[in-house]
Each structure stands twice: as C-alpha cells, then as structure tokens.
Structure 1
C-alpha cells in the first residue's frame, strides 16, 4: 500500500526544515561554519531564531544536513554532466571552488568532531558506491573498494587544494593537475 501523503502540517514542517538547510548551506558557503550561528541561519531562512530548534538540535546537526545536501548537489551535477573525464573533473572542481569555506570547515570538523567524521565516512561510502554506478568499470571486484576509494579521495583532495590555493602556492599548475586527474580516471576506467 502506498504511503499516505504528508499532512499539511507535516509538509509545512518539511518545507521549513529544507529552508533552514538551504540557509545554513549558504551561510557555511559564504561565511563559514565558525563565523555564523543558529540565529543567523534562522534569520537567513526567514524565521525567528526559536524556529531553528524545532528542527535541529544545534549548529553541528544542521551542518551535517547541509553536508548531505552538498553531496546530493554534487551528484546531481555529475549525473547531468557529460561522461568524459575532463567534464567530470571540472564539475567536481567547480563545486569545490564554489563551496571552499564549507569544504575547509568540513575538514576541520572531521578532524575534531567524531560525529562529523562518522557522517563523512558514511557519505563517502555512499559516494564510492555511486561512483562505481556512474563508471561501472570502477566497480570493485569482491569486497575490495580500493580503486573507487582511491579515485574519490584523490579527486576530493586535489580539488580542495586547487580551490583553496594550496596547490598553486606549492607551484603546481591547475591545468597540469587537472590533466593528471583526467589521466588517472582514464587509466582506471580502461
């Protein structure tokens, strides 16, 4: 039997939650996790600060929801992109550049907050599975997921280094790094 449609109240509550997540994602993208608070997130979403706590326990809990939305947004972009390696890399890189502060704070929080680290690991496992679906030749043989994990982590970290300028500061050419990522993907695909 199909699930009953949500009540008007439930639908309104879900819409409020989504607005709060979108507002938080924008706050984290533009000013960073450490430079905002739950009141600013609620106000950005168009709600009184008390509304925030009807939907989220604290700033960290909405950060995790925003992280999940970030991953979903990246996958929508990847699924809409052409399948060639360069387009995929440039799509990931553009997403990392757009969300530089968010990604920087994610790395810091994952290093200091076990809840964030556990959630990051959960989402990475899901990403690796989706990566194998997107490029079936990367699917693991048996239980060894080393190849898609290697690709995901390499793409993620190199994209972050390009986005935050640390690659350039280390005298690495963005063009050459992208070329190397393309070669890596192509070598793993064939």
Structure 2
C-alpha cells in the first residue's frame, strides 16, 4: 500500500503557507487589493494549486479568520499561567490590559481590516461573531468559580472587553494626535472593569 503521509504532510504545509500569506497580504494591502493570483505568487504556490485548497478569495479569507483566531488563542494561552500570580483583581486586570494591547499591536492591521469587512459582508460577520462567542465562552470557563454567581456575567464581560479593547485601540493611535492622557485612561479603564466584576 502506497504511503500517503509525505503527500499529506506536503498538502498541510502548502495550505498553511497559503493561510499565512493571505494573512500577511490582507494586513499589508487590504482585502480588496489582493487576488488569489497575488496570494499564490507571494506564497510560492501556483494559482492552480491555490484553487485546489480554496474555491475563491473569500473562502481564503474565512479560513484566515480562523487562523487569525488560532494565533490569538495560542498567544493568550501562553499567558494563562500568570493569572494565578496576582493577589487582587485590579493587579490581574492591569496585566490583562497589557496583554490586550500586545495582541492589538501584533495584529493591528488585519484586526482593523476584519473589523471593517464584517460590517459589509454577512458571511464574514457570521464567522467573526462565532469566534467572539467562542472567546466569551472560553473566558467564562477560565474565570474563578466565585464569578459564576455574578448576575448578567456575559453582559458584564462584554462591557469589560469593550472597554479594554477601546483602550488598546486608542493606545495604537499616533501619539501626536492622541487627545487623551493614556495613563489616566488606563487607570480608569481598570477601575471601571474592576467595578463590573467586583459585585460578588
């Protein structure tokens, strides 16, 4: 019986390379300025090979959203062990906010592109919303048991994440045009989220 493992491994590597290149091309040039041909060329893959893995550019994008989420998950999971090091919720939130900013800084370009696309394409919105739902469920699972008693926990977390994300977005702005004291904004963000999660 013919050994299919080398062929399968090559197929996995090729698909991975196409996803990584799609990710890079969208971040660098924007979704509407790239084509399957350009992605394949940048990946060192023939256009015909690219179409064997993906039907069109949109399918590549949807697969890239999953890839993007997987990268964030991998990054965040490496930080989980640190969450037990803090004696207060405020200390933990300070750490989490710094990690939030690090993720936004690392993936800022593609994050902004996906945020824009999800408002105009229902398929992209559905994929994005599913990832947000999965992220919320995972966050709830990671919380200490005492937080399970909080009323409207999901809504509190939604507001808290929105506040942290808004801080990260503002931090990414050009400092010369920034209108806010970032130290004050950081401290206030932590205080507000702390208040949302302290009613236990």
TM-score, scaled to structure 1: 0.81
Q: Is the contact made by 1:64 and 1:116 (CA closer than 8 Å) also made in structure 2?
A: yes
Change (3 A) 1:72 1:169: same
Q: Is the contact made by 2:25 and 2:39 (CA closer than 8 Å) also made in structure 1?
A: yes
Q: Which has the greater radius of gyration?
A: 2
1:48-106: CA deviations, max 9, x gaps? 12221111122222222222222222222222223222222122212212322212211
Report the alpha carbon displacement of residue 169 of structure 1 after superposing the two structures with TM.
4.2
In structure 1, the partner of 2:155 is 146
CA distance in 1, matches of 2:149, 2:112: 30
RMSD over aligned Cα, in angstroms?
2.7
Q: Is the contact made by 2:27 and 2:110 (CA closer than 8 Å) also made in structure 1?
A: yes
- Structure 2: unaligned runs, 5 residues or longer: 84-91
Number of aligned residues: 184
TM-score, scaled to structure 2: 0.77
Q: Is the contact made by 1:85 and 1:182 (CA closer than 8 Å) also made in structure 2?
A: yes
- Structure 1: unaligned runs, 5 residues or longer: 1-5
Which of 6, 18, 21 is the aligned partner of 1:20? 18
How do residues 33-182 of structure 1 correspond to structure 2 at under 5 angstroms?
33-81=31-79, 82-83=82-83, 84-136=92-144, 138-139=147-148, 145-165=154-174, 169=177, 171-182=179-190
1:123-150: CA deviations, max 9, x gaps? 0000001111232355576886212222
